[in-house]
Amino acid sequence: MPVRSHPQRAEIELTRIAGGTLQEVADRFGIPRSSLHRHMTTMSFEEHARLKAVAVALAEEHAALIRMAALTIQAATNDSLSYGHGAG
């Protein structure tokens, strides 16, 4: 199946643009490496730029979620430590 008509086309393209190797992406989505390479090299500059912008935005969102999770874990750890400290 050509990448252009693959039901997961957007995810395939984003995964590749975000840094996945040709082989990793091909294996993950069950498509021939050569088809993926051909698809990516025939995309327009505008398509690549649009996908890169989306990939950057997703990476920033991911980083923000990680920071929030870390702060939540840190706060929970600090709360449990303060409760345990006074219970003697």
Interval 43-71: pLDDT, tens: 999 999 999 999 999 999 999 999 999 99
Q: Full-prediction pTM beyond 0.75?
A: no
Cα–Cα distances in Å, from 87 out to 38, 74, 80, 83? Answer: 65, 20, 11, 7
CATH number of 3-85: 1.10.10
Q: CA 16, 20, 26, 28: dihedral to nearest 10 degrees?
A: -110
Q: Within a 13 Å sphere around the CA of 54, how many CA atoms are in the beta-carbon half? A: 13
What residue ranges do the domains of the chain occupy? Answer: 3-85
